[in-house]
Amino acid sequence: MEPIGVIKSPYRQRFAIPRQPGLVKSARCKIYLAESFSLNAVKGIDEFTHIWVVFKFHHSKGQGWKEVVRPPRLGGKEGRGVFATRSPFRPNDIGLSVVKLLAHYEEGSQVVLEIEGGDFLDSTPVYDIKPYLPYADSVEEATSSWAQSEGARLEVIYEVDELIQDLNPRAQVLFHEQARFIEESLSLDPRPAYERGKDAKAGQIWGVLLGDFEVKFTATHGAIVITKLEYEPAQ
């Protein structure tokens, strides 16, 4: 298969990407279709509120896969077959996500689809796009024994107010635009499964690129504490 386009995403690292689509509604992405496609390829797509995106786990290539994996939702301790999970490490590195469609238009020589709630790494190749059909794609009687809800979210707080005030004026404007996205992403506790539900060890700090910022944080008293913000504009 050949990609039909690529995704521009505020998630610049795999770390902190939500494990399912729709969990961070403020995550706004753009799908740039290849220049060989015109608006005719998406004619009528605005008649649907949501779309399926078939994509490639492009950073999983070459890292192998196992028949039995340990899902984070099970604390990273219990094993399940790869086909009973949504692990990105699969025999074929294909992903599938449903997202909200916000708009579509031409930008230069490319067709662009703006979407909401994406769980995509920046520069993710797209293989296909299909409309989401509620009558066929939503199964009322479907059940799941161990992934029934998104799980608890943590409060996100700032170690000191000066973290934002110390940014330059341009960075402050961008941060206020992206703060909700950053806070929503961190509230899902992006730490490894074995670290969740407990306070970080003394002095233990994690860092992640989200949007235009490198965010350093720790975890204590059931909250994510942002300890440092650095302006690192995306290319």
Q: How many domains is the chain built from?
A: 2
Residues 62, 91 within the same domain: yes
185 and 215 housed in the same domain? yes
* CA nearest to 51, candidates 142, 105, 114: 114
CATH code, 70: 2.40.30.70
Q: What's the predicted TM-score (pTM) here?
A: 0.90
**Domain harbouring 195, CATH code:** 3.30.2310.20
Q: Kindly compute the dihedral angle of the four CA atoms of residues 18, 21, 27, 29, in this order, to the nearest 10 degrees.
A: 120
Spatial distance between the Cα atoms of 148 and 168, rounded to a whole number of angstroms: 43
Q: What is the pLDDT along the chain (235 residues), one digit of tens a residue?
A: 999 999 999 999 988 899 899 999 999 999 999 999 999 999 999 999 999 999 999 887 667 888 998 887 787 788 899 999 888 889 999 999 999 999 999 999 999 999 999 999 999 999 999 999 999 999 989 888 877 777 788 999 999 888 999 999 999 999 999 999 999 999 999 988 888 878 888 889 999 999 999 999 999 988 999 999 999 998 7
113 and 176 share one domain: no
Domain range for 169: 155-231
Give 184's contacts (C-beta < 8 A, 6+ positions apart): 23, 24, 25, 26, 27
Residue 124, amino acid: T
Residue 51 shares a structural domain with residue 119: yes
